[in-house]
Amino acid sequence: MFDDETAKERGVTPSEILDFLDITVALDNGIAKVSKDRVLDDSQLDDSSAGEMDLDDEEQETSQEVSQEASQEAPQETGKRKRTRYLIDDSDDGEEPKQNGTRHKGVKFGCLPEAKDSKVEALRRHLMLLCTDKRGFARQCSKKGEGRFTVDFDMVLAALREAHIDAMVEATAGLFGLRLVNALKHLGKLDEKTLSMKTFLPKRQVQTTMAKLLEAGFVDVQEVPKDNSRVVDRSFCLWFCEKERIRRLLPERLCEVMVRCFQVRDVEKAKVRDILDFVRRTDVKGRVEEVLDQTYYRRYRAYQDKESRLLGSIFRLDEIVACLRDY
């Protein structure tokens, strides 16, 4: 990923990220952590109060029988493990915290209260989770001290483009179409029979779905003759999918959709132009509902709803175009 040794030192530490992070962000949310003093082993579990458990007598007997059967069936290595229970600190009024702790079958689980000296470690754990994701949201480039982390934007943007394309394929041809496109991406050119075998789909379903994908431009077909006779019956078709071709083709089509959205907005705007001109008056602004008749006000509100939906679609399409073409 890097050309020289000095470039390997790129990246930031959790402390440097923490300086730019909003203080209202709760870093302890989402990642569970329990301190050693709140983990009870077998000897401490026997002395613990019965009030910590919410099970009645029947549930306790059932859980004991299940645990005994599981211990008999488990290997010897697992039998040496200690039973543990995670407890949360009791509040002053005796009530259980609702946000930082939950109950599950008589066992309380909770997160540690966030301390200033633990923010760096909590942020480091969040970054490590991003590093372990298969899409490569982040990467640990150094393990010294707190560790240094960086983002390979080329890989992240490639994964983001792939996700956008997959979403469009699914919207066009459903899950079957997405399965077929993914098979072509990983296996290359395939005929209908092999494609049907690889995707576990009937041949008729493959033909129908591939026709939709071909019309939308997500796949292409190549006719290969079996001999020199040039007869249609003596040839077979190979389906294939080119990622770069799709990435170049989709922005143009998305821009066309954006233009149509603007045209629809102009048409809808022309239908209520008289109402919009009246609403723009200075003596009407701020009290539109009071001045307008209910019939005209409903038409005005209907136009606002349509305009907001159209503009929202345009903004989302613009973000996809920027991801596929500009970034």
Query: For residue 140, what pLDDT is reported?
Result: 87
DSSP class per residue in 154-195? HHHHHHHHHHHHHHHHHHHHHHHHHHHHHHHHHH-SB-HHHH
- Which of 28, 37, 44, 39 lies closest to 111 in space, CA to CA? 28
Are both 3 and 127 inside the same structural domain?
Answer: yes
Residue 85 near residue 123, CB atoms below 8 Å:
no
Residue 212 near residue 173, CB atoms below 8 Å:
yes
Are both 225 and 160 inside the same structural domain?
Answer: yes
Distance separating alpha carbons of residues 155 and 282, to the nearest angstrom: 52
- Which of 306, 319, 316, 315 lies closest to 267 in space, CA to CA? 306
Are both 237 and 252 inside the same structural domain?
Answer: no
Beta bridge partners of 107: 104
* Region for residue 248 given its phi and psi (left: phi exceeds 0; alpha: psi -120 to 50; beta: otherwise): alpha
In this predicted structure, the answer to whether residue 120 has a pLDDT above a threshold of 90 is no
Q: What is the CATH number of the domain that holds 209?
A: 1.10.10.10
Residue 111 near residue 28, CB atoms below 8 Å:
yes
Are both 169 and 63 inside the same structural domain?
Answer: no
Query: For residue 102, what pLDDT is reported?
Result: 44
Are both 99 and 68 inside the same structural domain?
Answer: yes
pLDDT band at 301; cut points 50, 70, 90: very high
Beta-carbon contacts of 148 under 8 Å, excluding residues fewer than 6 positions away, are 9, 10, 11, 12, 13, 140, 141, 142
Are both 5 and 133 inside the same structural domain?
Answer: yes
Are both 146 and 290 inside the same structural domain?
Answer: no
Are both 130 and 169 inside the same structural domain?
Answer: no
Query: For residue 143, what pLDDT is reported?
Result: 80
Are both 265 and 312 inside the same structural domain?
Answer: yes
Beta bridge partners of 155: none
Domain that holds residue 7: 1-25+116-151
Residue 258, phi then psi, degrees to nearest 5: -65, -40
Q: Which helix (H) or strand (E) covers residue 303, if one does?
A: helix 294-321
Are both 251 and 237 inside the same structural domain?
Answer: no
Are both 3 and 145 inside the same structural domain?
Answer: yes
Task: Give 211-257 pLDDT, tens digit per residue.
Answer: 999 998 899 988 888 777 777 677 888 999 988 888 888 898 899 99
Query: For residue 64, what pLDDT is reported?
Result: 53
Cα dihedral: 275, 280, 284, 287 (round 10): 80
Task: Give 307-324 pLDDT, tens digit per residue.
Answer: 999 999 999 999 999 988
Number of domains in the chain: 4
Q: Which of these three, 215, 241, 267, is where a domain ends?
A: 241
Residue 59, phi then psi, degrees to nearest 5: -65, -35
Beta bridge partners of 108: 103
